[in-house]
Amino acid sequence: MAVKYYGLNQVHAATITASTESAQFPLTNLQDDRRTKVYRSTSNSDTMVIDFGQAVDIDAFCIVDNPMLGFALSTLTVELNATNSWGSPAVSQAITLDQTYGWGAYEWATTQNYRFARLVMTSTTGYCEISKIYLGPKSAPGALDFTYPLTFEQKTNCTISENRYGQKFVDDINTQKIVGGEIQHLYKDELDSLLELFDYTSVTRPMFITFDATAMFETNNNRINGYYYLNKSPQYSYQTGNMWSLKLTFEEGT
């Protein structure tokens, strides 16, 4: 199972404008790491332009929903262009949104290099909403795989109290994905690639992670794809044969 990491998000330092913007849910929320801090438009059909300031490398686009309310999008198209002119953009890609697992992603076969991106959105809720998005390069090679077993947990964040009669009172909140495992037999260059990524993200900055579909996930790996923080600092161990292993635990950002 190939794992791909996306941590160098070009959206964080970009200038973002939109055709409409709700005062209660401004565009600045897109650069806040909390998923419940969202941008909302004021109509069912809107566009958003992201100016990176200069041409940047873009390998992938990722999007996650608001974990409390889900997607408020029906369709989404990502466009890339050298200038802020959208009559005939250089790149136009429709994104498939998984409404069940709150995930959408696309990876280009070759690296794109453009200054501007535009999101074209439609909805049926009276507004379009975006929680967190990623536009940027792969942060580490996709050939670095977890060694089985890979652990996966749907952690519940609900609060349960019980009275003297044994009746339960539940404050039902969203669940949170926890993924853990070990990557073994890393060469120095492979380890350096991951060290660069984790030095940047650490435990304080989130990254997007995709897991290739396998029989383990039937036909849908979106159940564990997502928006994660390192749960704790990585644990490295040196092995014989000048190789390394690495234990990781990721906690879903909410």
List pLDDT tens digits, range 21-55. 999 999 999 999 999 999 999 999 999 999 999 99
Look at residue 20 in the predicted model and tell me its pLDDT: 98
The model's pLDDT over 74-121, given as tens digits with 9 standing for 90+, comes to 999 999 999 999 999 999 999 999 999 999 999 999 999 999 999 999
Q: What is the percent of the chain where pLDDT is above 70?
A: 94
Residue span(s) of the chain under CATH 2.40.30 come to 147-252
Peptide bond into 149 cis (omega under 30): yes
Left if phi > 0, otherwise alpha if psi is -120 to 50, otherwise beta: which for 126?
left
> Is-contact 243 214, C-beta < 8 A?
no
Per-residue pLDDT, 155? 85
Structure tokens at 87: 């009559």
Q: Which of 71-75, 139-143, 170-174, 182-186 has the highest mean pLDDT?
A: 71-75
First-to-last C-alpha distance (Å) of the chain: 25
CATH topology for the 3-136 domain? Jelly Rolls (2.60.120)
pTM over 0.75? The answer is: yes
* Predicted local distance difference test score (pLDDT) of residue 61: 97
> Hey, what CATH class is 147-252 in?
mainly beta
* pLDDT at residue number 253: 92
Return the amino acid letter for 167. Q
> What mean pLDDT do residues 174-191 have?
86
